[in-house]
Amino acid sequence: MASLPPFLEALAAGPLVFDGAMGTQLYERGGALNKCFDELSLSAPQVVAEVHRDYLEVGCDVVQANSYGANRFALAPHGLAERVGDICAAAARIAREVAKDRAWVAGSVGPSGLLPKDLIRNKTRRLAFDAFREQAQALVEHGCDLLSFETFGYLGELEIAVEAAYGLNVPIVAQCTFDEQNRTQDGAAPDEVVERMIGLGVDVVGANCSLGPERLLSVVELMVGKGRPVVMQPNAGYPRVVDGRSIYLSSPETYGVVARRAFKAGVAAVGGCCGTGPDHIRRVVAAARMLGGGRWRRQALHARPRDRVEGEAPTPLAERSAFGKKLADGKFVVSVEVSPPTGLDPSAALDKIRLLDDAGIDVVNIPDGPRATVRMSNQAFARRVLERCTKVEPLLHVCGRDRNLLGLQADLIGAHVNGLKNLLIITGDPPKVGDYPDATAVFDLDSIGLLGLARGLNRGVDPAGKPMGEKTAFVLGTGAEPAARDFEREIKRLFEKKEAGAELVLTQPVFDLATLDRFLTATKALGLPILVGVLPLASARNAEFLQANVPGMHIPDAVLERLRRAGDGAHATREGVAIAAEALAAVKGRVQGAYLMPPFGRVELALEVLARC
């Protein structure tokens, strides 16, 4: 791998993953609670190195040196106050030797242990400043790429520590701990922490430890968008003492789910604190991959293209499929989603698609394990659609969740050979939301990487940059969330998707015209056909479930109220169809198509929406 890019540049390019707890891991590997864990960098370097290696093996981007308490005040009770330089040098050296050029090394700096009442005294404040300076300088001199100030409950002490790092010319990450009222020990709220840290020139702000992942997410969400990238490193929930041991109860699965929510909320990096281990960080890495971050992202961004070939010009869009020709001709197109069956018999689902075929629908969207459920292979089902229908074409979903790079390439080649030319490239739902939450998520490629792979195949070039001798002829679609919480990031990624090869955009359902206006304005420069998502809601309960469980789904209060007034059953369904038809009629002249997602596979509702427009 090429040498690492600057840390802050990589942080801006996509989500990064910090490692997890060091102390917890050292304890589990035989470290005594009454021993100085920082000193183990001198007396047991192989154990410290093993912890770093375990985190690197699961894919973390930042390794934090075993130096959290390596300041003279914290080391004094162990008789090690004069060995700050030796301990910090050893900690930095071990981390650097293990990380090599696979990860950045952060010098970990924790509180001094002095009480807040002492730190307000000028003399003690100066001693604390000197102690932090001594520690930070030793860490940077011996190979740390950045400094990570963490677990500071007293904001005033964090300010002293940050000031002590001035002039060391490395990025500074500053993290506080917060109580149940979202306050530091000296009463500062998250936004005040950000403001004061920006005033000191800190590069990255955040919160760590103290609260479990769900609670800490609610804190860092208040920091996002305030002028600095945000990092979050929660502990694994509140500890319970069982047989004399502190047991942290937040599972790796929960950690992964919260990490994905954090990344989607705009948090730039996620790691772990007390009670976390490689299994927790493995889940965070999977979440980062889903959103285009992590180590693979750096490799892709900084790969050397000198041995690659661009390939030949792709087949013109109008010649790839009937759907492609309609897009190229600027015609209004309609797509309706029908999921493959959960069993062995596709006849019922095929009957639905024949209704769409008879109605003149252009394409039928065929998802790939929607909501991470097990269904018939969507490629096998799409092939049956080609055999049974005369006009409607399949639009095959392809996601990076379940297959590695080799499997994805094989599937795309197989799709082309099977006559499946229309693709919707997506990242895919995490297994946690489906029937098999412990299934392994692969995510070798997210939607951007997968679009790049398919674009290369359309030019007759494989992912290694080698000519294939032939080329595919795919129409390449991608998805978008007009109501994404981090709207700027969603738009940025959409432009990256176009650069990677996307030729049309299908959106999540939109019920709020103001949301769609903002999205269409922001994407006008894309110059891509947009199929707006339309979902005829079945009831208020259906709407509430979707809003709570589907990322990017925003249903206005006015729509929910109309559905509640309609009651249940047929009345609610008719109201849902009317709402969908009104939404589509209002935007039909501003987009190139509609992407209808009928609830529970009821395609007749989609046809009714179209009939009303």
DSSP three-state, residue 111: coil
Nearest to 75 by CA among 109, 47, 48: 109
Class of domain 334-480: alpha beta
- Report the pLDDT value the prediction gives residue 438, as an integer from 0 to 100: 64
Question: CATH 3.20.20.330 residue ranges in the chain?
Answer: 7-301
pLDDT tens-place string over residues 261-303: 899 889 999 999 988 999 999 989 988 877 766 664 544 443 3
Count of CB atoms within 10 A of residue 96's CB? 18
- Report the pLDDT value the prediction gives residue 522, as an integer from 0 to 100: 96
User: Which residues of the chain fall short of a pLDDT of 50?
Assistant: 1-2, 239-248, 296, 298-308
- Report the pLDDT value the prediction gives residue 358, as an integer from 0 to 100: 93
Nearest to 202 by CA among 177, 220, 226: 226
Q: What's the whole-model pTM score? A: 0.63
Which residue shows structure tokens 């390596």?
70
- Report the pLDDT value the prediction gives residue 137, as an integer from 0 to 100: 97
Q: Are 243 and 216 in contact (CB under 8 A)?
A: no
Residue 251 CA: distances (Å) to CA of 118, 194, 257, 583, 599: 38, 29, 10, 42, 33
- Report the pLDDT value the prediction gives residue 513, as an integer from 0 to 100: 86
Angle at 426 between CA 425 and CA 432, to 5 degrees: 150
Q: At what angle do helices 378-388 and 347-358 cross, to 10 degrees?
A: 50
Question: CATH 3.20.20.220 residue ranges in the chain?
Answer: 334-480
Count of CB atoms within 10 A of residue 120's CB? 10
DSSP three-state, residue 116: helix
Class of domain 7-301: alpha beta
- Report the pLDDT value the prediction gives residue 301, as an integer from 0 to 100: 40
* Dihedral angle, C-alpha 455, 461, 465, 466, nearest 10 °: 170
Which residue shows structure tokens 């992407």?
595
User: What backbone phi and psi angles, to 5 degrees, belong to 246?
Assistant: -85, 120
pLDDT tens-place string over residues 510-519: 888 889 999 9
